[in-house]
Amino acid sequence: MPVVLLRIDDRYIHGQITAKWMQRVDGQAIWVVSDALGKNPVLKSLQESLAPPGSKVKISSVNEALKECASVNKGNERVVLLVAGPEDALTVMKNGIRVDHVNVGQMGFKHGKKQVSKTVSVDTNDVNAFKEIIKMGVRLEYQQLPDFPQKPIDFEATLKEMKLI
């Protein structure tokens, strides 16, 4: 079950994922790792209903996901892994998920966060997690859609330009 896309998107399953990203990476399954969704049957059911027809959907809390991370890269099923923020991305990568880049798509603005791009706002915890991901040799790419912007933007460079790292 190789992870073909690890995307940070606090909206989880939505139109951009179902109509664009799944097609771009030839995804067969969506795995959402989220404590908020994993522990809430109503939100979990809503997310499952948004998946493209024929796609397998798995929604796990972070602790549940950690038990499966080591074995996830085995098998043939092409998985799109969605997390809300860089801390969860870092956690799954430290526990066996192998990727060469993380797609940073959507981290909405909240009090205490600084906007660094049109759809991404970060706080100190986010920045610290991004630093650790970079130290692991994993690229950070900002791209809302597979064709917008046309080429992924180097998100590490964006954080440096903002003097956050």
| CATH number of the domain residue 17 falls in | 3.40.35.10
**Domain annotation covers residue 40:** yes
Query: Domain count of the chain?
Result: 1
Domain that holds residue 31: 6-161
At 132, give phi and psi (nearest 5°): -65, -40
What whole-number distance in Å separates Cα of residue 150 and Cα of residue 141?
12
Residues whose CB falls within 8 Å of the CB of residue 5, separated by 6 or more in sequence, listed in order: 21, 25, 27, 80, 81, 103
Mean pLDDT of all residues in the chain?
92
What whole-number distance in Å separates Cα of residue 162 and Cα of residue 62?
30
Q: Which of 14, 24, 2, 50 is nearest to 141 (CA)?
A: 24
**Domain annotation covers residue 114:** yes
**Domain annotation covers residue 61:** yes
The yes-or-no verdict on residue 72 having pLDDT over 80 is: no
pLDDT band at 125 (very low <50, low <70, confident <90, very high): very high
**Domain annotation covers residue 1:** no
Amino acid occupying residue 134: I
Q: Which one of 12, 14, 57, 103 is the catalytic residue?
A: 14
**Domain annotation covers residue 20:** yes
**Domain annotation covers residue 14:** yes
Q: Which of 93, 64, 76 is nearest to 2 (CA)?
A: 76
- Encode pLDDT of 5-21 as tens digits: 999 999 999 988 888 99
The yes-or-no verdict on residue 51 having pLDDT over 70 is: yes
**Residue 3 per-residue DSSP state:** E
**Domain annotation covers residue 83:** yes
14 is a catalytic site residue: yes
**Domain annotation covers residue 53:** yes
Token representation of residue 14: 């939505």
When pLDDT is averaged across residues 112-136 and rounded to a whole number, the result is 97
